[in-house]
């Protein structure tokens, strides 16, 4: 039987004068909820700090969930020892996903970690909720307020206003983390940023299912077929990979190159063009590898994957020579052995692997804006030349940078400066991600 209709009154309203914003206050405001921002927010909360975590997407997880990347890269060192290089957020994550069979370890030149992005998404949401982190989703940086020393020009960020579909949200905080990927916080604060002189291509990834993975082609066979059929299927990228998940009938395809503009209209068009390109990739696979992909269906299209777009001009720009030499910085906060992986040509990319014992580092100075005392960058918007950044923008070192950002702000709390923290104390706190 249907329920009896009860009285429900409806009010007529108009927008209040002055467009008031929701007001939030926290010890730390983290902009960006990808792996770097999540790592920063979670670690800051564990340090007892109140945290606001904001992201332009309507969901948590950033690219690691929503772009269907499908692999954690840069967490482990190279063969044959495969040393674990990054801890923090990954310790509990890997242990929990192992229990449910939603993670797999692939051993080649290094270990990459495949995961079910749906399960990972809920794991992230549950952890953020349980920790009591305040979340603002669908939030783009609109304005940044600063306190500026008239004599020196040095700054402390005071508040950030976000635009959301529900109205403006203003967050006051003692410290800030720019983990936006595109240096959105630094850019809106008027800080100097870097952009590449030509496109560094992103990727439109898709998850396809109903495969027969026992017949999967070898990577070299797949690349050869792409090069032989690129014109027929209008495929601009001539190199690519299909990441199969062990024991499942699905794979994540990383076989496209799409533009990653910073202008709204061009970015929207690039997303549509990227999905059309991905459809042609699926058609190619169905036709050229029918034993594996003949019955393939697209399960989901990720948000456009963006590799390198705009990043902070920091106190120190990490160089490709420092990456190649494995230079160890006194203020190192993250490390990886991931190759130089520069996608600066539409048809392919640079792939420069390192030897078995190689490790390279990211210094705290590459996370810090000159003259700004309470902001730390983390993730792919830290400073490096294009080739150096291409080797440290993957999820292992990005998580380590977020972890370090939380500790740097904690050590600078009470009105101190992230440029003047006790480096010995910081080294002790990030020991597992740098020395262990």
Selected residue with higher pLDDT from 18 and 426: 426
Write down the residue that tokens 């797949």 correspond to.
Answer: 222
- Cβ(317)–Cβ(385) under 8 Å? yes
pLDDT tens string 242-296: 999 989 999 999 999 999 999 999 999 999 999 999 999 999 999 999 999 999 9
Write down the residue that tokens 């390192």 correspond to.
Answer: 354
The two structure tokens encoding residue 333: 């906060």
The two structure tokens encoding residue 246: 């062990």
Alpha-carbon distance of 436 to 194, in angstroms, equals 33
Q: Of 102, 46, 37, nearest to 395 (Cα)?
A: 37
Share of the chain above pLDDT 70, in %: 100
CA dihedral 51, 333, 79, 103 (to 10 degrees): 0
3-state secondary structure the chain: CCCCCCCCCCCCCCCCCCCCCEEEEEEEEEECCCHHHHHHHHHHHHCCCCEEEEECCCCCCHHHHHCCCCEECCCECECCCCCECCCCHHHHHHHHHHHCCCEEEEECCEEEEEECHHHHHHHHHHHHHHCCCEEEECCEEEEEEEEECCCCCCEEEEEEEEEECCEEEEEEEEEEEECCCCCHHHHHCCCCEECCCCCCCEECCEEEECCCHHHCCCHHHHHHHHHHHHHHHCCCCCCCEEEECCCCCCEEEECCCECCCCCHHHHHHHHHHHHHHHHHHHHHHHHHCHHHHCCCEEEEECCCECCCCCEECCCCCECHHHHHHCCCCCCEEEEECCCEEEEEECCEEEEECCCCCCCEEEEHHHHCCCCECCEEECCCCCCECHHHHHHHCCHHHHHHHHHHHHHHHHHCCCCCCCCCCCHHHHHHHCHHHHCC
* Domain boundaries 206-301, corresponding CATH code: 3.30.70
Tell me, what's the pLDDT at 21?
85
Q: How far is CA 401 from CA 55, 366, 408, in A?
A: 18, 10, 10
Phi, psi of 233 (to 5 degrees): -105, 5
pLDDT tens string 309-340: 999 999 999 999 999 999 999 999 999 999 99
The reply to whether 22-197+309-434 and 206-301 are identical in fold is: no
The two structure tokens encoding residue 313: 């001009």
Whether residue 233 has pLDDT greater than 90: yes
- Cβ(21)–Cβ(166) under 8 Å? no
Tell me, what's the pLDDT at 2?
78
Whether residue 1 has pLDDT greater than 80: no
How sure is the predictor about 308, in pLDDT bands with cuts at 50, 70 and 90? very high
Tell me, what's the pLDDT at 155?
94
**Sign of the alpha-carbon torsion through 288, 292, 296, 298:** negative
How sure is the predictor about 16, in pLDDT bands with cuts at 50, 70 and 90? confident
Q: Of 425, 407, 108, 146, nearest to 241 (Cα)?
A: 108
* Domain boundaries 22-197+309-434, corresponding CATH code: 3.50.50.60
Q: In whole numbers, what is the pLDDT of the chain averaged over residues?
A: 96
Tell me, what's the pLDDT at 267?
97
- Cβ(61)–Cβ(124) under 8 Å? yes
Whether residue 28 has pLDDT greater than 80: yes
Q: At what angle do helices 395-411 and 35-46 cross, to 10 degrees?
A: 40
Selected residue with higher pLDDT from 15 and 26: 26
Tell me, what's the pLDDT at 126?
98
Tell me, what's the pLDDT at 285?
98
Q: Of 165, 148, 170, 166, nearest to 157 (Cα)?
A: 148
CA dihedral 209, 213, 217, 223 (to 10 degrees): 30
Write down the residue that tokens 């203003």 correspond to.
Answer: 170
Whether residue 19 has pLDDT greater than 80: no
Q: Of 236, 237, 248, nearest to 118 (Cα)?
A: 248
- Whether the model pTM is above 0.75: yes
Share of the chain above pLDDT 90, in %: 95
Tell me, what's the pLDDT at 20?
78
Averaged pLDDT for residues 39-48: 98
Whether residue 100 has pLDDT greater than 80: yes
Ranges of each domain in the chain: 22-197+309-434, 206-301
Tell me, what's the pLDDT at 420?
97
The edge-to-edge listing of strands for the beta sheet with 241-244 is: 241-244, 251-254, 206-209, 297-301
Tell me, what's the pLDDT at 33?
98
pLDDT tens string 144-194: 999 998 888 889 999 999 999 999 999 999 999 999 999 999 999 999 999
Write down the residue that tokens 């595109």 correspond to.
Answer: 182
pLDDT tens string 357-406: 999 999 999 999 999 999 999 999 999 999 999 999 999 999 999 999 99
- Cβ(250)–Cβ(211) under 8 Å? yes
Tell me, what's the pLDDT at 215?
94
The two structure tokens encoding residue 1: 């039987």
Alpha-carbon distance of 8 to 262, in angstroms, equals 45
Tell me, what's the pLDDT at 179?
98
């Amino acid at each position: 039987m249907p329920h009896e209709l009860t009285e429900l009154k409806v009010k007529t309203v108009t927008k209040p004068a002055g467009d008031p914003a929701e007001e939030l206050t926290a010890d730390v405001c983290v902009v960006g909820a990808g792996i770097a921002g999540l790592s920063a927010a979670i670690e800051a909360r564990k340090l007892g700090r109140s945290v606001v975590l904001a992201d332009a997407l309507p969901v948590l997880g950033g690219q690691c969930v929503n772009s269907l990347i499908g692999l954690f890269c840069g967490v482990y060192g190279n063969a044959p020892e495969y040393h674990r290089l990054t801890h923090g957020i990954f310790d509990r994550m890997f242990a929990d996903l192992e229990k449910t069979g939603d993670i797999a370890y692939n051993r080649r030149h290094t270990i990459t970690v495949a995961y079910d992005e749906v399960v990972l998404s809920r794991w992230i949401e549950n952890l953020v909720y349980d920790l009591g982190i305040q979340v603002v989703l669908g939030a783009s940086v609109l304005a940044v307020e600063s306190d500026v020393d008239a004599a020196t020009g040095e700054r402390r960020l005071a508040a950030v206003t976000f635009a959301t579909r529900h109205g403006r949200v203003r967050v006051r905080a003692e410290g800030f983390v720019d983990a936006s990927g595109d240096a959105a916080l630094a850019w809106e604060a008027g800080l100097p940023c870097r952009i590449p002189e030509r496109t560094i291509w992103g990727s439109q990834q898709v998850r396809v299912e109903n495969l027969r993975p026992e017949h999967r082609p070898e990577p070299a066979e797949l690349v050869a077929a792409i090069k032989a059929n690129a014109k027929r299927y209008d495929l601009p990228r001539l190199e690519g990979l299909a990441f199969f998940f062990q024991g499942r009938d699905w794979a994540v395809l990383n076989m496209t190159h799409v533009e990653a503009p910073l202008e709204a209209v061009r970015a929207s068009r690039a997303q549509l063009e990227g999905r059309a390109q991905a459809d042609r990739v699926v058609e190619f696979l169905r036709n050229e590898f029918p034993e594996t992909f003949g019955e393939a269906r697209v399960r989901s299209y990720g948000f456009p994957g963006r590799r390198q777009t705009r990043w902070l001009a920091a106190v120190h720009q990490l160089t490709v020579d420092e990456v190649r030499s494995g230079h160890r910085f006194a203020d190192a906060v993250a490390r990886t052995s991931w190759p130089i992986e520069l996608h600066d040509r539409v048809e392919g990319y640079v792939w420069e692997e390192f030897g078995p014992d190689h490790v390279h580092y990211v210094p705290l100075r590459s996370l810090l804006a000159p003259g700004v005392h309470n902001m730390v960058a983390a993730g792919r918007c830290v400073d490096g030349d294009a080739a150096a950044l291409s080797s440290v923008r993957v999820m292992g070192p990005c998580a380590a940078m977020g972890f370090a950002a939380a500790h740097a702000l904690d050590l600078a709390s009470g009105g101190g400066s992230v440029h003047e923290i006790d480096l010995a104390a910081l080294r002790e706190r990030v020991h597992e991600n740098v020395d262990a």
